[in-house]
Amino acid sequence: MNEIETKINSLRKKLIQHNYNYYVLASPTISDREFDELLKELEQIEDAYPQYADPCSPTRRVGSDLSKEFEQVEHTYPMLSLGNTYSEDEVREFYNRTARLLNEPFEIVAELKYDGTSISLIYEGGKLKRAITRGDGARGDDVTANVKTIRSIPLQLMGDNYPDKFEIRGEILLPWAEFDRLNKEREDQEEPLFANPRNAAAGTLKQQNPAVVASRRLDACLYYLLGENLPAGTHYDNLRIARTWGFKIPDVIRTCQTPDDIFDYLAYWDAERKKLPVATDGVVLKVNSLRQQRNLGFTAKSPRWAIAYKFQAEQAVTRLLSVTFQIGRTGAVTPVANLEPVLLSGTTIKRASLHNADIIRGLDLHIGDYVYVEKGGEIIPKIVGVDTGSRTMPAGDEVSFISNCPECGSPLVRIEGEAAHYCPNESGCPTQIKGRIEHFVSRRAMDIHIGPETVEDLYNAGYIKNIADLYTLDLPGLLRLERWAEKSAQNLMDSLEESRAVPFERVLFALGIRYVGEAVAKRLAYAFLNIGQMQEATLESFMQVNDIGERIAQSVVNYFAEENNRLIIERLKACGLQMAVDETILTGRSERLKNISFVISGIFTRHSRDEYKAMIEQNGGKCGGSVSGRTDYILAGDNMGPAKLEKAKKLNVKVINEDEFLNMLDE
């Protein structure tokens, strides 16, 4: 190694250490000016000797002005969400359920739940290789260039005892002070204000210009390590060790031996969190042992070994100015309260949801009332009460639910057993039509590159009246419209062409069938394999699909019974959209377990619970959560729940072990 290379490496090492001292430890050992002088010296040497360039050099923190589209990347490990609890009783239930499933001693790690945007950081050879957003849980956006501007995230790790490749997850945050500074700047420039630090952080991370990201001074807190060769067998120890590599691991993480330890932690941070420099909205509780985490496994949406406890929302009092009624894409009517602006949990609230007619009736609302507002889960504002003592006499007009759609005038209907009112005019209500088109083109559905304003323009111009009309658009027609340039028109045409390759389960989700979200669409797609079979299926056959109840099944049957919907599907099919599950995905599927229902219980040695569930579904079987008369087998591991065993005996359900199940597959 020559003198220049030695000098560069020495400067980089010093800057990495000082960066860590300042942004992670909050204990700088040199002044800002001294740091800047070292940085400038390194920049000058790197400019003079470009052969020693390194994308992870401290000089690359400021970002460039280059603009690019974000690449979508598959997660090695799915980024699932956590189940939420709001009471100590639910926390105790989680603890007791974990104790029953494990049937052995365990520890719980308690840590604060930061209110930012989730990030996954991939390190290889001690260097930041890639940063990926949560996305849809299975894949996210590659935002590496932007994340490299965040000074609390190390580009090069310290020490040498880290795995060659691993993943660390955490939260990208915008501190309160920075949030206030940015909003003051935007106010001075008469720009719209950021709603809250979480939204501001998420929006900043999606900026196409890393230099803008660098200017907003994002922060990060990291809280979960994944990989094949982790240094320790517990979550807590892995985080403690990761701190020595240069990661900003919050020092408020604690291990808890008993429920009382957990409740002490919750009580302390419910008050103290308000003094923190960043937004938090709860506490995350995780089983400490990685072995026990694997044994507990996952549900379809979240790990069984972790749960989020949400703090009780703060309240504010303000005046009700008016109530408006909004129509969603499914025709559901949502009443919205317009309020005198009030500060609540660090954000200014001007609107709040009133949910439905029953809520309005129960509140006895009058225009001009002073109302109590809180954030449900500290995200969505809602009115929870009225200060009737301050009501002026005579009172303002009583708030009552409307009887006709404010968009098309159709009489509203209310389905028996549901709280919401609906506009039944699906094919004629402009708001519903535009809402369905917006849903269809959304990123998680068909990913067609137009937003709500463009949908509005195309609808008003008469170009699109339903989702199938999108595929009749052409370049000359778009260019005849105002404000359409050739590049934007070509981008739309390209994304329409690309959408023809979107897999069947996403097409099914994009149709916008009421109650059919992404997970349900995937279950239905793999149960029926193509749109033709779904169109001819009965209510009973839909209800045979795992986790599909009567409400969802009836909604799907009703959708396909509508002649207009069937015509649109035929048009989409003719346009080349995927209306069947890809044959290559079906490779390896079998009917060995067709119509056989299993319940999985206990702890296994040869495969995890989730792997067994996948095997059952891959071979045509169904998995249930509880034992019933429709259960054929219980796949039982060690420490099977006694209640399930007793119920199995009562219902004469056969209990089999791992070897017996695997033999069933072999046969």
Just list the catalytic residues: 113
Q: Which of 152, 138, 5 is nearest to 80 (CA)?
A: 138
Q: What is the spatial distance between Cα 534 and Cα 511, in angstroms, rounded to a whole number?
A: 13
- Residue 293, helix vs strand vs coil: helix
Burial of 580 (0-12, 13-18, 19+ CB in 10 A): middle
Q: Where are the beta strands (DSSP E) in 368-517?
A: 370-376, 380-386, 413-414, 421-422
C-alpha dist (Å) from residue 640 to 238, 250, 533: 30, 37, 38
Type and span of the H or E element at 24? none
Q: Quick one: residue 544, left, alpha or beta (phi over 0 = left, psi -120 to 50 = alpha)?
A: alpha
Rounded (10°) CA dihedral 481, 486, 489, 493: 140
Q: Helix %, strand %, coil % for the chain, to 5?
A: 40, 20, 40
Peptide bond preceding 406: is omega within 30 degrees of 0, i.e. cis? Answer: no
Helix H or strand E segment including 223: strand 219-226
SS3 letters across 515-571:
CCCHHHHHHHHHHHCEHHHHHHCCHHHHHCCCCCCHHHHHHHHHHHHCHHHHHHHHH
Q: In a 10 Å sphere around its CB, with 0-12 CB exposed, 13-18 middle and 19+ buried, how is residue 433 labelled?
A: buried
Burial of 134 (0-12, 13-18, 19+ CB in 10 A): buried
Based on C-alpha coordinates, what's the Rg of the chain? 28
CA neighbor of 437 nearest in space, from 486, 496, 502: 496
Strands 117-124 and 165-173: antiparallel
Give the Cα separation of 360 and 325 in Å (integer). Answer: 12
What is the sign, positive or negative, of the torsion defined by CA atoms of 383, 384, 389, 394?
Answer: positive
